[in-house]
Amino acid sequence: MSLLNLKLRVWRQKNGTSKGAFVNYDAPNISPDMSFLEMLDVVNEKLITQNQEPIAFESDCREGICGACSMVINGIPHGKERGTTACQLHMRHFKNGETIVIEPWRARAFPLIKDLVVDRTAFDRIQQAGGFVSVNTGSAPDAHAILVHKDNAEKAFDAAACIGCGACVAACKNASAMLFVGSKISQLAHLPQGDPERKRRAKAMVMQMDAEGFGSCTNTLECEAVCPKEISTRVIAELNWEFMRS
């Protein structure tokens, strides 16, 4: 496959208080084997040699498991490939000559820090409100001491796949965080270890979610379509159930 010549339209904003705008860049000779972030690295290297400010974006693992690379690519969080983070999105999915529009997550609860970087600590505060289990200190218990039914283990594991990237919030027309909160609730609700805090967990996490300024779910199912871990909206039904029980 031949090299790609692309045009980028990137949201640039110095900080949370300044006014942002789209800036156009050329991205010539891009290998189709590059990841999306590698393509941005190439563009940034050129900007640095031209004494220009590189495009700020988050990345860490670059293997689809940390959830840092938050950006909306051509109107879809993490781009149009399903079940993929931006760092695992490869340039072979783009056409030569294509213009790619790149924007940050847009949500009141995710204030913009710079360019494509947003502050997602609202998720941390929701977790701190109830997304934990109390454990006794001391030696580790035997692995088979507490039995977990396979169905419950599977459901808990599916929900635990959430990497907290925030794509669900970015995609939702209401900037709702219910897929994220549902994942954290569901993960613990299916395990005996989650039982002691069960009654107060859902209420505390939902109250924190509301206090952070996230919207509410209108069940458009857009969140599960963009979730890089393909978490089902079943976890939202489970969140609602846990909230009603609390």
Q: Please give the residue ranges that form the binding site for other proteins (CB under 8 A).
A: 11, 22, 72, 74-76, 80, 82, 101, 103, 106-109, 171, 173-176, 203, 206-207, 209-210, 213-222, 225-226, 232-234, 236-241, 243-244
Q: Which is nearer to other proteins, 64 or 215 (CB)?
A: 215
Bin 74: left if φ > 0, else alpha if -120 < ψ < 50, else beta: left
Smallest gap, in angstroms, from Cβ of residue 63 to other proteins? Answer: 23
Two tokens, residue 94:
């783009």
Smallest gap, in angstroms, from Cβ of residue 67 to other proteins? Answer: 19
Q: How far apart are CA 67 and CA 226, in angstroms?
A: 13
Q: Which is nearer to other proteins, 35 or 232 (CB)?
A: 232
Q: Which is nearer to other proteins, 19 or 144 (CB)?
A: 19
Smallest gap, in angstroms, from Cβ of residue 160 to other proteins? Answer: 18
Smallest gap, in angstroms, from Cβ of residue 76 to other proteins? Answer: 5
The amino acid at 99: T
Helix (H) or strand (E) holding 10: strand 4-12
Positive or negative, the CA dihedral 60, 64, 65, 69 is: positive
Q: Where does residue 21 rank: exposed (0-12), middle (13-18), buried (19+ CB within 10 A)?
A: exposed
DSSP secondary structure code for residue 103 in this structure: E
Q: Which is nearer to other proteins, 61 or 207 (CB)?
A: 207
Q: Which is nearer to other proteins, 74 or 193 (CB)?
A: 74
Smallest gap, in angstroms, from Cβ of residue 9 to other proteins? Answer: 8
Nearest 5 degrees, angle CA 85-CA 91-CA 95? 125
Q: How far apart are CA 130 and CA 244, in angstroms?
A: 16
